[in-house]
Amino acid sequence: MTNGEYCKKCVMKSSNPGIVIDKNGVCNICNNTEYDSFYKNFKKSIKYYNKFKADMSSKDKSRKYDCIVMFSGGKDSINILHKFAKEHNLRVLALTINLPFESETSKANIEKVVSELDVDHISLTPSTSGYIELMRSIFTQKQGDRILNVDGLTKYKHLSPCIACTSFIKIMSCFIAERFNIPYVLYCADPGQMANLPINIENTIEAMKSVFDVDFINYIFNDDIDKLDSKKNPNAPIVIYPYIAIPDYDPNKIISKLKALGLYDSTPQEGHCILWSLLNYNAIKKYDSPFYILDYAHNIRNGKLDRDNTIQFLEAFKNMMFKVGEGKLTPKDDVHLRNILDSVFTTKGEFEYTYSNIMKMSEIANKLDISLSDI
């Protein structure tokens, strides 16, 4: 693990991918030197969304569906599915890619919402063995790995296990769209997530082909990935990020709306995939920060969190995760871990899900056929 220096304005660290701390101790995000890349992503997303909006105003009646909504059962995808299927009356196909690490809460949400909204829904289960191998490789990042080009990660430093997984889902969704002649795929990433993602499918493919063996990529999708490239296939589907067009994204307002509609009765934390603790442990070991460090830093910049208190929490959480990962958690440490979690999770469901997930971290790693020491 590389120990990083904290930015003096937020909690980003010099050990985080893409972060540079200047001579004044301030990171490149706080200095707005990352603004150009974020702005480019924003412009591209707006361009694609405006095309989608224009096309939806004059629907092609020859098609059965106007768009696919990538439907995970989380609050953001439930909100988008409701908005476009019911508020805008589009012909929407909800698509769920079943992966081995989805939470039971998300599965229950999917079943309930599909029934309540009465929308067409495809639940697709891809090759588990291929997906597991992909995720195992990106977690361990070993030189000489059969399918992983470790050197490619120097260019795509942000290709975390989470982004590799969402890229897999995005590509799989585009294959379904291409097969059924559906022009748009709606990916329900929130604005913060969107800033760090390859925006169009071509960028996603380029990143995956640079980091993973191309034959392996074609194998796990059982198809030719290049057919999704609009330069080679003018009918390739376009990925849309609908939250780019929804001002003042507010997760609490979304949750309140969905609960009033009877579509959501859980919490975002309970809806996380079961890799949550493993993602955090992986990020701590590799980058000296928890996985959601960007969110903490953003909330410090906008005044929602106190920097000193957040650093205290992050350091305590990091130390406890190491003890769990190394099998050195004492009864006293267990009480301390519970107190740490109790300070940030406000509901019993959130607390219990998170604590249980951390305690099962080694068991979850075994499902990837790795041990925590491999990370």
User: Could you write out the DSSP letters of every residue in 140-169?
Assistant: H--TT-SSB-GGGGGT-TT--HHHHHHHHH
pLDDT in the model for residue 290: 94
3-state secondary structure of 113: helix
The residues, any chain, with a CB within 8 Å of residue 190's CB and separated by 6 or more, are 76, 243, 249, 251
Tell which residue, 187, 281, 174, has the closest CA to residue 230: 174
pLDDT of residue 196: 65
The Cα 270–Cα 253 span in angstroms is 18
- Model pLDDT, residue 18: 83
Q: Between helices 128-140 and 214-221, what is the axis angle to 10°? A: 140
pLDDT in tens, 217-276: 888 887 788 889 888 888 899 999 999 877 778 888 999 999 999 999 888 888 778 999
* Comma-separated ranges of CATH 3.40.50.620 domains in the chain: 36-260
CB-side neighbour CA atoms (13 Å) of 60: 14
pLDDT at residue 38, as a whole number: 64
Q: Measuring CA to CA, which residue among 158, 177, 191 is closest to residue 230?
A: 177
Q: What is the residue type of 249? A: Y
pLDDT of residue 154: 67
Cβ proximity of 297 and 10 under 8 Å: yes
- DSSP label at 1? -
Closest CA to 290 of 162, 195, 203, 191: 162
Is 369 strand, coil or helix?
coil
Helix (H), strand (E) at residue 308 = helix 307-325
- CA dist 15 and 289 (Å) reads 8
Q: At a CB cut-off of 8 Å and minimum separation 6, what does 334 contact? A: none
Identify the pLDDT of residue 195: 65
Fill in the DSSP letter of residue 347. S
pLDDT at position 218, please? 83
CA distances from 95 to 102, 138, 153, 179, 255 (A): 14, 25, 30, 13, 21
pLDDT digits (tens, 9 = 90+) for 280-313: 999 999 999 999 898 899 899 989 999 999 999 9
pLDDT of res. 27: 94
3-state helix vs strand vs coil in the chain, percent to 5: 55, 5, 40
**Which portions of the chain are predicted below pLDDT 50?**
none
User: Distance from first CA to last CA of the chain, Å, rounded?
Assistant: 10
Q: Could you tell me the CA-to-CA distances from 367 to 165, 226, 227, 372 in Å, in that order?
A: 15, 31, 32, 11
- Tell which CATH architecture fits domain 36-260: 3-Layer(aba) Sandwich (3.40)
Q: Which of 16, 80, 17 is nearest to 52 (CA)?
A: 80
List beta partners, residue 6.
13
Q: Give Cα separations from 328 to 132, 138, 324, 331 (angstroms).
A: 28, 26, 6, 10
Give the pLDDT score at 39: 66
